[in-house]
Structure 1
Amino acid sequence: MHDNSPQWLKWARTIQAISQIGLTYKKNHYDEENFTQLMHIAADMVAYHTQRSSQELEKNFLAQPGYATVKVDVRGALVHEGRLLLVKERADGKWTMPGGWADVGETPSQSIIREVREESGFEVRPTKVIAVLDANRRGRPLEFYHAFKIIFLCEMVGGEPTPSEETSEVGFFDMDDLPELSVNRTSPEHIAEIKKHLQDPCRPAAFD
């Protein structure tokens, strides 16, 4: 499947990964200077194409020490009485399944339980992995970082709709009549896959 990331973003990601790995395993100050320069180049490339500053980007890069790896985005598909839970993102004013970056030290199921609670107010139990997808090849790429998206089918165990610092509204929607989606987070393809799993509970998880 084709990588939807623009070519400049692919280059910037690769350069930043080389820089991060190089700074982790540097052997002398020459290595440090060279790999730091690569970090500056990657930051400048992204800043040129976005509204973010090179300084902000470099700060984010330096906060990701160690070997460069893919990040993990988790999303919870909570279907209650035939309607799908969505939250409205304050960042772009569009709707998405609750979720976000997995935290260090959590299991995948712990991550999605926390994310759904924080963004919607509902307590859930994940029952099935619907999909493990490369975000660059499904829908649009996620910001700068290369990410895998794990979508969990969930069931409600409690709670009530409660917006958060990141979400302004919480609601359940007919999957054939959804509000405008924040497609970096939840795409029509994700919705279609959820429908297939609801129709066929034995359907295996989609991947790639």
Structure 2
Amino acid sequence: MGEQVPDLLRWARQLFTISQAGLTYCKNEFDLERYQQLKEMAAEMLASHSSESKEAVLQSFSMQAGYATPKIDVRGAIIRDGKILLIQEQSDGRWAMPGGWADIGDFPAETVTREVWEESGFKVHVDKVIAVYDANHVAPLEFYHAYKLIFQCSITGGQPQTSNETLAVGFFNLNELPPLSRTRTDQVMLEEVFAHYQDPKRPTAFN
């Protein structure tokens, strides 16, 4: 499913994971220096493959203290009258299912309910899990390894409303989609969403 993660990105993430584990658990000061060098090497590799500087990548790394694990991205899939709810992202002007990074201390369903409300103006009930994907094999992310959880939701109230993160809210047919923000939502995800609405007994998709 999706694109192949470029080898350089995959190697750099693996180096970062090794360095982060070493910096977390190692006690020997000489080895700590080597793990720090490994972390900086990973940052240089990622910077060479992106528009970010090495310093910006290291700053991004610094937000992931301790043992490196995947981040969790949750998305709410809402279909009404045969059309799917999408929001236009402020960051890139493209469209995606409402959602975002999961918050520590919240249940995944709580996070997606809040994200849908904040980004689209709709209150929803979470019905089931549609899919669990390795997000980096959908559309490669520069710095993070992430899992994407897509929840089927039903509207219980509210009305279309933008936020400081969104430019517009709309419903679209699968064959008339606007330009998608592919690290957030892509065509294959939406096809899976529609397949679940057409077949309520369809099992959860995963990779």
Q: Which residue of 2 aligns with 1:206?
A: 205
Structure 2 partner of 1:32: 32
Give the unaligned 5+ runs of structure 1. Answer: none
Aligned pairs for 1:48-197 (under 5 A) are: 48-137=48-137, 139-197=138-196
Q: What code does the residue aligned with 2:191 have?
A: A
Contact 2:9 2:142 in 1 (8 A): no
Displacement of 1:2 in angstroms is 8.3
Instruction: Indicate the SS of the match to 2:176.
Output: coil
Number of paired residues?
A: 207
- Superposed structure 1 runs of 4+ greater than 2 Å apart: none
Structure 1: how far apart are the matches of 2:120 and 2:29?
Answer: 48
SS of the aligned residue for 1:31 comes to helix
Q: Deviations over 1:67-105 (max 9, x none)?
A: 111111111101122211101112221110011111111
Indicate if the aligned counterparts of 2:100 and 2:115 stay in contact, CA closer than 8 A: yes
Q: Are the aligned partners of 2:57 and 2:143 in contact in 1 as well (CA < 8 Å)?
A: no
Q: Which amino acid aligns with 1:13?
A: R
What TM-score does the superposition give when structure 1 sets the normalisation length? 0.94
1:178 maps to amino acid: L
> Cα RMSD over matched residues?
1.5
Alignment deviations for residues 35-91 of structure 1 (CA, whole Å, 9 cap, x no partner): 111111111111111111111211221221111111111111011222111011122
**Aligned mates of 1:176, 1:107 — CA distance in 2:** 33
Secondary structure of the corresponding residue to residue 203 of structure 1: coil
Whole-angstrom CA distance in 2 between matches of 1:47 and 1:143: 9
In 2, Cα distance between equivalents of 1:173 and 1:207: 25
Q: In 1, distance between residues paired with 2:105 and 2:4?
A: 31
Report the secondary structure of 2:78's partner residue.
Answer: strand
Q: Secondary structure at the match of 2:130?
A: strand
Q: Secondary structure at the match of 1:176?
A: helix
In the TM superposition, residue 3 of structure 1 has moved relative to its aligned partner by: 6.7
1: CA distance between counterparts of 2:79 and 2:201? 17
Aligned-residue offset at 1:28: 2.4
CA contact (8 A) 2:88 2:169 kept: yes
**Which amino acid in structure 1 is aligned with residue 168 of structure 2?**
E
Whether the 8 Å contact between 2:3 and 2:139 is mirrored in structure 1 is no
Describe the superposition over 1:110-165 as per-residue Cα deviations: whole angstroms up to 9, x where unpaired: 1111111121121111101000111122x312332111111100001122222222
Corresponding residue number in structure 2 for 1:10: 10
Counting aligned pairs with the same residue, the percent is 51
Cα distance change, pair 92–108 in 1 and its aligned pair in 2 (3 A)? same
Give distance in 1, aligned partners of 2:52 and 2:38.
18
Q: Report the AA paired with residue 158 of structure 2.
A: G
Residue 175 (structure 1) shift: 2.1
Distance 2:151 2:88 in 1: 19
